[in-house]
Amino acid sequence: MVYHSQKMNLSEVQLVSENESGRVTVCEDLASPERTRYSVFITSDHEIIARLHRAYNNANNISPDSELNYFSDQGEYLVVYPYVPARPLSRFYMGRDLPIPKCEEIVKNYIITCLATNLPWQVLYLALSQGLVNMARDGSVYLSYTMDLSLLDEDITESDCVGLCVGDILRMLSQKPNNIRWDLRALLVKRNERQAFNKFTDLYHDYEVVAGRHSKRGLIRRIILWFEENKDQLFRVLLIISIILVVFTLVTFLTNAIFGDVPWLRFFIRSFERIGTQSLVQ
């Protein structure tokens, strides 16, 4: 199926999801030399488009010139967003294997991505709730746009989006063992229980307060935190060393019991029997 507009000829190349209200697809622009791809929601329900229009027209968090990019063809409406390859945060964030500063950097990038979005809150909510938050290899966070727009709720506010964001962040931070004392996690849990976050600016401010405090940590506190975070690895290293020492001691004991001495100790003993040309043996 190919859909035509004045600027694009969109051909479906991948079906992402489908329901009775519409389908989410990835389309390729045949009119573009680069065959540019787009994330496209296709529906024949004009009420969905009307809700989207109202969301964009009433949004106070996006630039005034932001418009809903859509066209109609063959009795269907196509809502067009940029195509961004997915690299879901839920799959590629391995917080247990990352140092705390790196985890905090990713959290910051997540919050900034939501703050800087050019989507109305109702549409951002769909992106967050449908798992379209992605993490690049360098730790930066970005959104993809293969959203099922039929689920759009006009009553969604910024506070609802912040709630989803905080929930995701807490799940990220929970990958660290609870016995690691982590100021950011403790703060978010406490504030979230009181439902104190209504705006992304509030969330970012609290992050900056904790991050600023961490940057002023003393050397002793940093050393303690490093040991707390890496104590499992340290325990394994010490366990291996202890096993080696036990085996060495056991072999030494058995060798002494069987042969009456320990052969490999002769090397150390005989090393001191002669110094240069002078014999120390009487």
Q: What are the tens digits of pLDDT across the range 213-245?
A: 554 455 555 555 555 555 566 677 888 888 888
Q: What is the pLDDT of residue 10?
A: 94
Whether residue 274 has pLDDT greater than 80: no
The length of the chain in residues reads: 282
- The residues, any chain, with a CB within 8 Å of residue 78's CB and separated by 6 or more, are 3, 5, 10, 27, 40, 41, 42, 70, 71, 72
Write the class of the CATH domain 2-82: alpha beta
DSSP code at position 95: G
- The residues, any chain, with a CB within 8 Å of residue 1's CB and separated by 6 or more, are 11, 12
User: How deeply is 11 buried, as exposed, middle or buried, from its count of CB atoms within 10 A (0-12, 13-18, 19+)?
Assistant: middle
Whether residue 182 has pLDDT greater than 80: no
Report CA Rg, the chain: 31
pLDDT band at residue 101, thresholds of 50, 70 and 90?
confident
**20-29, 47-56, 152-161, 212-221: segment of lowest average pLDDT:** 212-221
Q: What is the pLDDT of residue 238?
A: 80
- What angle do helix axes 100-115 and 158-173 make, rounded to 10 degrees? 170
Which residue ranges make up each domain of the chain? 2-82, 89-219, 228-279
pLDDT band at residue 136, thresholds of 50, 70 and 90?
very high
3-state secondary structure of 168: helix
Spatial distance between the Cα atoms of 144 and 127, rounded to a whole number of angstroms: 7
